[in-house]
Structure 1
Amino acid sequence: MSRKQELKKLTTQLAIWTALWIISTAVATFGSLLVWPEHYAVKVALLLINITVGAVMINVNRRYVLALDELQQKVFLQAMGITLGVAVIGGITYSLADITDVISGDAEISVLIMVLGITYLISMFVGMRSYR
């Protein structure tokens, strides 16, 4: 199998496992709130499924990164470093804004996840563009 085919296969696997993790997260969240709020064992089982699917997704992501060439790995690493920084600094600041009532609503993890996704995408785009 050529390097290009291998990368395409791993990209597809990563997309599938990421989608499965998102679906398992939604089922665990909304199912527990709306469908079976009184069933503790079902909630625990769904959380265990979610963490298992997440662990597989992490492993597929690791294999994907190892299949990248050196330049792509460098861009990926830089984007992940920026995203980690935004997660720590932004997440703590967002939480503090909630605790100190600087923001009117509660600090929701979903907002932070969206910010991290956008940060990663922009960082990857800028990184890849800078090496053209």
Structure 2
Amino acid sequence: MTERNEWQQQQCRSNKLLAVWTGLWVLTLALSSFGPQWWESATMTYLATVVNIIMGAAMIWANKRHLDHQDELQRKVQLEAMSLALGISVVLGLAATSLTQNSLLGFDFEISHLMMVLGVTYIVALLLGMRKYQ
């Protein structure tokens, strides 16, 4: 097996591992968010939230490992996309919060809106970065 094939297999394993941990985190987030509609136990809600935090930590670990297994150019594209997504989310999130607190936005700004901005910005920046370095 060539070095390139080994690297590609490692990339594939890393992608799958990240996808699994991300999926588990999303499932436990849904459980901790919507679970209280199915049960009336505060203990169950706390437990679901703790499990969600643990899955989130595992997802972060998997993402870090994923970045460690990428080549220099892939890491650069990821870093640029992440920094742009973080910067835009912080600036727009704080601006929207300020407008909401002063009843000037027209709707209640919630964390879900910020997560949508973060996700869309990251995906667009990642796609543009990959296209830039093709």
- Scaled to the shorter chain, the TM-score interval is over 0.9
Q: Which runs of 5+ in 1 are unaligned?
A: none
Q: CA RMSD in A?
A: 1.1
Which of 47, 50, 68 aligns to 1:48? It is 50
Letter paired with 1:16? V
**CA apart distance, 1:91:** 1.0
Name the structure 2 match of 1:30.
34
Task: Provide the C-alpha distance between the structure 1 equivalents of 2:84 and 2:76, rounded to a whole number of angstroms.
Answer: 12
* Structure 1 outlier segments of 4+, above 3 Å: none
Which of 83, 86, 89 aligns to 2:85? It is 83
**CA apart distance, 1:117:** 0.7
Q: How does 1:1-132 map to 2 (within 5 A)?
A: 2-32=6-36, 34-36=37-39, 38-132=40-134
Q: Which runs of 5+ in 2 are unaligned?
A: none
Alignment coverage as a number of residue pairs: 130
Letter paired with 2:38? V
Aligned-pair identity in percent equals 37
**CA apart distance, 1:104:** 2.6
Tell me the TM-score normalised to structure 1 length.
0.94
Task: Provide the C-alpha distance between the structure 2 equivalents of 1:92 and 1:68, rounded to a whole number of angstroms.
Answer: 33
Tell me the TM-score normalised to structure 2 length.
0.93
